[in-house]
Structure 1
Amino acid sequence: MSDAYLPTAEIAALKARAALTARVRSFFEQHDYWEVETPLLCRESVIDAHLDPFELILSANNATTSERFFLQTSPEFCMKRLLAAGADRIYQITRAFRKDEAGDRHNPEFSILEWYALDDDLVSQMSFVEALCRELLHPDGLRAKSFLRVTWADAFENVLGIQILELDAAELMEFCLQTIPDAVPSEHAGIDEGWDFWAQLLLCERIEPWLAEQHAVFLYNYPASQAALARLSPEDPRVAERFELYVGGLEICNGYRELLDASVLRERNALENAIRVRQGLSDLPETRHLLAAMEAGLPDCSGVALGLDRLIMLALKRDTIDQVISFPIDRV
């Protein structure tokens, strides 16, 4: 008889996961955050060329015509609407959904821990993330180990000896062709795909192996072209107030000093939709509810989205995500 009906995670691991999740909630409550719930199904979704949401066609409110709805890739939009309505320090443990993400470290449906705080800056949130990790990830082993904080550009300079923000797309392409020729897809060799394409290729091939050698590293001040929903730095408009944490080479979370300017978000949405169309993906509807919240006065805030399954993977010293979730995509 097939054992496909069984969970991929051991029952002991699932019990340990429940205990860790309880500790996460306790940690946030001790730091004066309160828990919220927001919808999984909305008429809008994050407009991102690299995140493809699941789409459903539904009739809502007994309507005679059908509408597009999306399973959320993160609870970001609705949580920011709560901030605009007066919430101050909120967190949520919920499900998120992303197409074409399955493997040892991905599942199309996954658990996400997301939080927002008014008036906190990027440095404060990095310290908060570090404290959370020290609470959950083998505390005895973490006390003697530091969490590095390295700017995105400095990581390239330290590993490759280049000042990447000073290079244009053609120069970066040439550097890739000389440095990592075997990693350049044959259909792209000699073609300028754009600055971000070549920067990401270098990140995957050269920077992430270095990150894997470190204990824990915050990469921060991402290039402005990769700002997503982060604001640009007032000190250097070439970079955005955004960070990611890597632990043992595994990306754990993504944090922003949140963008407040609705007009800038409209511009970024249009750009991301144009990229999606060029890639053969459908364009996504304008984020009118979030834009309205921003225009009404989204307060100064920062936020972090953390992959809870991955954090639990590390806490339980497991190698793959299916060892900490009950039924991954191939078991449902």
Structure 2
Amino acid sequence: MAEDLGTTEREIIAQRMKKAEALRALGVNPFGNGWQPAHLAADIVARYGDAPAEEIAKDPGAWSLAGRVLAVRSFGKAAFLRLRDRSAELQVWVKKDKVGERAFEVFKLLDIGDIVAAEGPATRTKTGELTVEATTFTILTKALRPLPEKWHGLTDVEQRYRQRYVDLVVTPGVRDVFVKRARIVSTIRRFLDERGYLEVETPSLHKPEEAGGAAARPFETHHNALDLDLKLRIATELHLKRLVVGGLDRVYEIGRIWRNEGIDRRHNPEFTSIEFYQAYATQDDLMKLTEELFHQLAVAVTGSARIAFQGQELDLTPPYPRVSMLEVGARALGLAPDDALAGRGLAEALGRAAARENDSEGSWKLEQAAKKSPGEAIALAFEIFGEPQLPKDRPAFVVDFPLETSPLSRRRDADPRLVDRFELFVAGMEVANAFSELNDPTDQRARFEAQMKAKAAGDEEAMPYDEDFVRALEHGMPPTAGEGIGIDRVTMLLTDSPSIRDVILFPLLKTRE
């Protein structure tokens, strides 16, 4: 069963195909069906725990398992297998005098990676390992391609993402990341369901005039039967708010979003978000809800409100501090907030900031910001200078967004130059974005018109003019607050994963020749 490490993969596959034919000769289908295990490895571990061999012998049970073989130690007429199923790993002891001549002939055709079935009582070996002593054994699926011998030694780290099916088998901890991801989603669902929210589904294919809800470039496609150009959604926002108009006062959707943007440690062109909307609520209501949600997520997934992320200890216990984008962004430029909003001295301040900025991209962005509105320039200054100064040991809400940065947010009554909006940052990442929704159709129409001017001036991320959404607002949308949360980034935080590609099962990668 041991394979020559110098043998080429093609030769290994040929050898395993011969073993598949030998199984057929023994009357065993090497790609069988119809065998269902009665137990999981975790059931056996839970049943016996640390019980000594003498205690297990009093009630060894009759256990039925199936799973993938990860290791084999053979001793002539007996062998120990390391078997993994969906719950845990467990040792299986295969002895010729226990399973019989024919089953042992089947066993001798085994390779690491095969999926097998075994039945028998539990025992504890002399080395103290909990084990199932097989009385029946068979191979259910022959693995024709070998598992990598030294997966962590691979220099091409992208192979883990390209062959996630192998990564899940051989890389410790990967499966646990995606189990926790599923727990995050289910916890969010339960959290919102308990508060009277209704889960809905909205279109993924949008007409060009509907592809809004965020500042992003969409992917484009074409429907042949209707001869219709379409875009993949960049947000679920505008359709969900239509539902609030229709009387669904609390709605949410968990779904895939597509944005035609770059790929880096925190961005993937397709990702998962949840957006939820609550009538008769404000951004302040959602801040409290967000604190409760993130605290509950941390406890549900990690067992504690204190988590570790990339060497940094974080405490997700509420309340979270609030940081003013306006004040921090303006003062980073050496201006008073009112002067910055009015544009007084802004161009000169941006020039000075660009000159002292060490990062060439940041310097270029600051120079270009002089061509934008004062609000956009303040937001950029905050991004460059303010975000790195946010608390490192706990989440923080960024508030006081200038009007120009938020075409769908409600103006602040006390200061119409700002909007009622917040973003939640944790460990330097934006993980949530929320605001009191704009429900004035006249104001919304003017904001869309401003976006169209920006698009005509070359802003590829400006939103389209969605006349049907304005029409919906004209029917009356109650005072509403809405929020979007990135599931992938939350998963990064709660699984201590450095890259978004670590928490997406099949991330988009460049094609290999």
TM more than 0.5? yes
- The question of whether the paired residues in 1 share the 8 Å contact of 2:334 and 2:349 is answered with no
Instruction: Tell me the SS of whatever aligns to 1:290.
Output: helix
Larger Rg: 2
Q: Which of 324, 327, 336 is matched with 1:154 structurally?
A: 327
AA at the equivalent of 2:508:
I
Instruction: Name the residue aligned to 1:272.
Output: 451
- The question of whether the paired residues in 2 share the 8 Å contact of 1:223 and 1:238 is answered with yes
> Deviations 1:118-144 (Å, cap 9, x if unpaired)?
101111101111111111135331365
- The question of whether the paired residues in 1 share the 8 Å contact of 2:354 and 2:364 is answered with no
Instruction: Name the residue aligned to 2:163.
Output: 5
Which residues of 2 match residues 35-114 of structure 1 at below 5 A? Answer: 35-43=199-207, 44-46=210-212, 50-59=215-224, 62-63=225-226, 66-114=227-275
Deviation at 1:187, TM superposition (A): 9.9
AA at the equivalent of 2:264:
G
- The question of whether the paired residues in 2 share the 8 Å contact of 1:83 and 1:298 is answered with yes
AA at the equivalent of 1:314:
L
Of stretches 283-292 and 183-192 in structure 1, the one that deviates more from structure 2 is 183-192
AA at the equivalent of 2:347:
M
* Residues 1:140 and 2:300 are matched in the alignment: no
> Deviations 1:159-183 (Å, cap 9, x if unpaired)?
6664234224462232232234233
> Deviations 1:180-227 (Å, cap 9, x if unpaired)?
423321993796444245323311221011115352111122111112
Structure 2 Cα separation of the partners of residues 176 and 152 of structure 1: 16
Q: 1:105 to 1:191 in 2, by over 3 A?
A: closer
- The question of whether the paired residues in 2 share the 8 Å contact of 1:169 and 1:198 is answered with no
Q: Which of 399, 404, 409 is matched with 1:220 structurally?
A: 399
Q: 1:130 to 1:158 in 2, by over 3 A?
A: farther
Which residues of 2 match residues 258-269 of structure 1 at below 5 A? Answer: 258-269=437-448
Structure 2 Cα separation of the partners of residues 159 and 219 of structure 1: 15
Deviation at 1:58, TM superposition (A): 2.0
Structure 1, unaligned stretches of length 5 or more?
none
Instruction: Name the residue aligned to 2:33.
Output: none
> Deviations 1:26-64 (Å, cap 9, x if unpaired)?
11112221211111112111176x4111122224xx54x
- The question of whether the paired residues in 2 share the 8 Å contact of 1:159 and 1:210 is answered with no
| Percentage of pairs with the same residue | 26
* Residues 1:28 and 2:28 are matched in the alignment: no
Structure 2 Cα separation of the partners of residues 109 and 303 of structure 1: 22
Instruction: Tell me the SS of whatever aligns to 1:260.
Output: coil
Instruction: Tell me the SS of whatever aligns to 1:306.
Output: strand
Task: Provide the aligned length of Structure 1 versus Structure 2.
Answer: 327
Instruction: Tell me the SS of whatever aligns to 1:184.
Output: helix
Q: Which of 396, 404, 428 is matched with 1:249 structurally?
A: 428
Structure 2 Cα separation of the partners of residues 265 and 229 of structure 1: 7
Structure 1 Cα separation of the partners of residues 415 and 462 of structure 2: 31
AA at the equivalent of 2:350:
C
Instruction: Name the residue aligned to 1:120.
Output: 281
Instruction: Tell me the SS of whatever aligns to 1:315.
Output: helix
Q: 1:161 to 1:96 in 2, by over 3 A?
A: same
Q: 1:140 to 1:29 in 2, by over 3 A?
A: same
Of stretches 167-176 and 132-141 in structure 1, the one that deviates more from structure 2 is 167-176
Structure 2, unaligned stretches of length 5 or more?
1-8, 10-158, 169-173, 307-314
AA at the equivalent of 1:6:
R
Q: 1:315 to 1:290 in 2, by over 3 A?
A: same
> Deviations 1:93-122 (Å, cap 9, x if unpaired)?
101111113210011110011000010111
Measured on the aligned residues, the alpha-carbon RMSD in Å equals 2.7
Structure 1 Cα separation of the partners of residues 409 and 211 of structure 2: 17
* Residues 1:322 and 2:501 are matched in the alignment: yes
Structure 2 Cα separation of the partners of residues 177 and 91 of structure 1: 43
AA at the equivalent of 1:185:
W
Instruction: Name the residue aligned to 2:37.
Output: none
Q: Which of 171, 179, 195 is matched with 1:15 structurally?
A: 179
AA at the equivalent of 1:23:
T
Q: 1:200 to 1:149 in 2, by over 3 A?
A: closer
- The question of whether the paired residues in 2 share the 8 Å contact of 1:27 and 1:132 is answered with yes
Structure 2 Cα separation of the partners of residues 282 and 106 of structure 1: 16
Of stretches 286-295 and 193-202 in structure 1, the one that deviates more from structure 2 is 193-202
Q: 1:331 to 1:26 in 2, by over 3 A?
A: farther
Instruction: Tell me the SS of whatever aligns to 1:311.
Output: helix
Instruction: Name the residue aligned to 1:175.
Output: 349
Structure 2 Cα separation of the partners of residues 304 and 190 of structure 1: 27
Q: 1:54 to 1:128 in 2, by over 3 A?
A: same
Q: 1:146 to 1:39 in 2, by over 3 A?
A: same
Of stretches 156-165 and 301-310 in structure 1, the one that deviates more from structure 2 is 156-165
Q: 1:94 to 1:189 in 2, by over 3 A?
A: closer
Instruction: Give the TM-score of the pair, scaled to structure 1.
Output: 0.89
> Deviations 1:224-254 (Å, cap 9, x if unpaired)?
1112201101111110111111112110111
- The question of whether the paired residues in 2 share the 8 Å contact of 1:213 and 1:248 is answered with yes
